[in-house]
Amino acid sequence: MLKNYLKIAFRHLLKNCVTTVINVLGLALGISCLLIILAVVRYERSYDQFHSKADQIYRVVRVSQGDGATEYRAGISYPVPNALKEDMTIAKEVTATFHIGDMQVSIIDGTTDEVQRQFQEDDGITFADANFFRVFDFKDAGFRWIAGNPETALKEPFTAVLNQTLANKYFPEGNALGNTLKLDNLIDVKVTGIVSDLPANSDFPFKIIASYATLNTEGLFKNSFSDWYSVNDDNQGYILLNEGIAVEEAEEQILKIHAARVDERLAQSRLYKLQPLRELHTDNRFDNYRSRTVSSETTWALLIIGVFIIGSASINFVNLSTAQSILRSKEVGIRKTMGSNRTQLTIQFLGETFIVTLTAGILALGAAELVTVYASDLLQMETTGMLLSNSFILISLVAIIIGVALLAGTYPALMMSQFNPVVALKNKIDGKAQRGIQLRRGLVTLQFVIAQIFIIGTIVVIKQMDYFRNAELGFDQEAVITARLPEGRNPDLSTLETLENQWKSNSTVKSVSFASTSPSGVGRSNSFWDIKRQGASEGSEGIVFERQSVDEQYLDLFQIPLVAGRNFLPSDTSQRIILNRKLSDRAGFSDPADALNETMLIGETAYTIIGVVENFHTQPLKGELDYVGLLMQPKDYNTANIKLNLASTENASNRLSETIQQLEASWNSTYPEYIFDYRFLDESIAAYYQEEARLTQLFKVLAVITIFIGCLGLYGLIAFMAVRRTKEVGIRKALGASVQHILILFSKEFIYLILIAFCIAGPIAFYVMQQWLQNFTYQIDLDSSVFILAISVSVLIAILTVSHQSINAALANPVDSLRNE
């Protein structure tokens, strides 16, 4: 019996090869998409979950209140971790990290103290205290200490731990332990430990971990460790709570510890909260060291999209199977006459569905594995052999195959198995066929609803990304190169002047400015302080603002306009400040001109306001404008900003290459021990939206797949209709119908269904995308053009899909269609 079922199933599938290919291809695409989405979602949710006490680990974050708004930041002031270690009785461990990111690393000869080799590391350099590996044990990630003592490796200043990759890179001879590294030619650290590489699904991209105690030394950040006002988002604290401790209890204790060490104003305006470790990767309000968060809403949206895609593929199967049911009515009638019962027929038809689904599942697994390998940058996850060796994915595949087979095959099997043999043999099942037509119309409409939601969503995402790329940020970002200065704090001003003059000798260099940072972009330095207007009432709250140290050429280079007052002069002292308009308004000046010559207090130091500039964006457009204050304090300069003039230059590409070489040559003559590491500012700003750009690409791909699956089903249905209505078309042509008339005959029903689907999809897509846009402070308007474009694309796709079969049917010779009548 089973052999007979299989034989009949294969014969039927081969006989109807077009339908079989459409079903297999559609299901394979749907299943592969769902498998990839499941792998991505599982990977994103696995971030930082491999620590043995992950549920007890929290990050200390700051929440600042002011001007009716709440600001969320991940950084804390430098003294906070030590204070928590001393007084927080309900914390088992407290650890602090300061992530530098990029640094130049030099290998020092142990006998001659000479530099042997130099490397520019773009990321992965951090400082952490001795408690770091007590809080984060990476137990379930295969982490291990290869050399060194984990209890003492980071205890003393000027020590460091390397991951295995960098240890092999720096010391290929295999004797990394005990050797010396020079970081940015400023800090010598001794290698006291080697560990296995931290997992990729960790928000701690650490490769070199220097001891946090190093920062609390002369010439680095020693003064900052007594400064409760200034904060840096790269300086973060983590605590491991004792078991059974409520978060609210811990936050209350932190509040008391902080309030006991600062004035009432700062204690009220800056609150420290606890963020669970599991939310580091999903909470968009706070950043992490990878500068990448994926919200829970995004992962749920991906799962829903995957279900929609597999559902669309299943709809194809149901549509084509029910459409073919009339052709198989005689087969059902004969089988029932020969003694087959309904159960046997249902099993047979479900068996055919299972064969198609199993074939599609096998193809889908192979296709998904290839996609994850070749699209790893898009998917942002480790992919080598990820699906074939992943038990969760394989179990999911089996469940999907069974589920899809039952979902797609049950209705057609039950419908065909209930045919009356007498009626079936007489080919008189028009009533049932009519009900099948209504079902197919409903399912096609549902497919178009799904497709149009995708089309509208993709259009909105693309437009929002275009807005990010083209929005005015309040400063000129074009043709600007930024380079981090090597001397850290207190650079030599005469050296900077020499370097500036050498750079300006190149006719392509328009301007040079030294500052503590660039106005915006990934990798920039930022420092947040507390500022207050002099004369404000006792106990009034301060304003947390971003403090930038700039020179007199900064505003001109970036074309940041003054709205009141003047720019810095070379003769100005460090007690002058320029506010942005937002900070001026927040300080209580109704007009920017009213702020001039007034005094602001940063801590106990008074600064005279000499100007107010227009607001400019220092952070991504996803958030609010920052309060910004500009000071002229050369000791904080650590960034060179170089404006190029390439617009009027012929062969700009070649000229740019020559300019970079000249800039590097001047750099090497000035700083021979440092590598010239530069970035283009517009690329740094674009990197803010790397995650959104990735999601845009995913949306495009998934939308195309959804539309393609829908077109496959539509093509199959129109092909079936063309065959079933061959004689009707022949009669119409014999009576004078034109090709256009026949084309309209086949197309109008689907256009009608598209319009119905749009009436359903439009409001759903509007609501969903409006909710998505709420994640961004600056967003596009959902105007009618989005929906007009969506319906136009849907109609065009449907017409192109049905036109081929429709035209073939219209051009057929009516004599051939009617010759057997």
Could you report the per-residue pLDDT of 713-739, keeping only the tens digit for each?
777 667 666 666 666 767 776 677 776
Interatomic CA distance for residues 22 and 448, integer angstroms: 18
For residues 185 and 120, is the Cβ–Cβ distance under 8 A? Answer: no
For residues 24 and 355, is the Cβ–Cβ distance under 8 A? Answer: no
Please identify which residue in the block is written with the tokens 């003393």: 156
* pLDDT over threshold 60, residue 18: yes
- Per-residue confidence (pLDDT) for residue 68, from 0 to 100: 60
Side chain identity at residue 276, one-letter code: P
Query: If pLDDT is split at 50, 70 and 90, which confidence band does 498 have?
Result: very high
- Per-residue confidence (pLDDT) for residue 418, from 0 to 100: 62
Could you report the per-residue pLDDT of 375-412, keeping only the tens digit for each?
777 777 765 556 777 788 888 889 988 888 887 777 66
Query: If pLDDT is split at 50, 70 and 90, which confidence band does 350 have?
Result: confident
Determine what percent of the chain is predicted with pLDDT higher than 70: 84
Interatomic CA distance for residues 126 and 302, integer angstroms: 33
Query: If pLDDT is split at 50, 70 and 90, which confidence band does 431 have?
Result: very low
Give 705-708 contacts, CB < 8 A, sequence gap 24+.
Answer: 705/29, 705/33, 705/309, 706/308, 706/309, 706/312, 706/450, 706/451, 706/454, 707/451, 707/454, 707/455, 707/797, 708/29
* pLDDT over threshold 50, residue 433: no
For residues 475 and 515, is the Cβ–Cβ distance under 8 A? Answer: no
**Which among 508, 520, 518 is positioned nearest to 485, based on CA atoms?**
518
* pLDDT over threshold 60, residue 421: no
- Per-residue confidence (pLDDT) for residue 438, from 0 to 100: 72
Instruction: Point out the least confidently predicted range of 179-183, 245-249, 541-545.
Output: 541-545
Say what angle helices 391-417 and 296-324 make with each other, to 10 degrees: 30
Interatomic CA distance for residues 33 and 21, integer angstroms: 18
- Per-residue confidence (pLDDT) for residue 100, from 0 to 100: 87
- Per-residue confidence (pLDDT) for residue 419, from 0 to 100: 56
Query: If pLDDT is split at 50, 70 and 90, which confidence band does 221 have?
Result: confident
Interatomic CA distance for residues 454 and 472, integer angstroms: 29
For residues 127 and 154, is the Cβ–Cβ distance under 8 A? Answer: no
The rounded mean pLDDT for the chain is 83
* pLDDT over threshold 90, residue 335: no
Instruction: Point out the least confidently predicted range of 1-15, 132-146, 530-544.
Output: 1-15
Tokens of 477: 């970002």
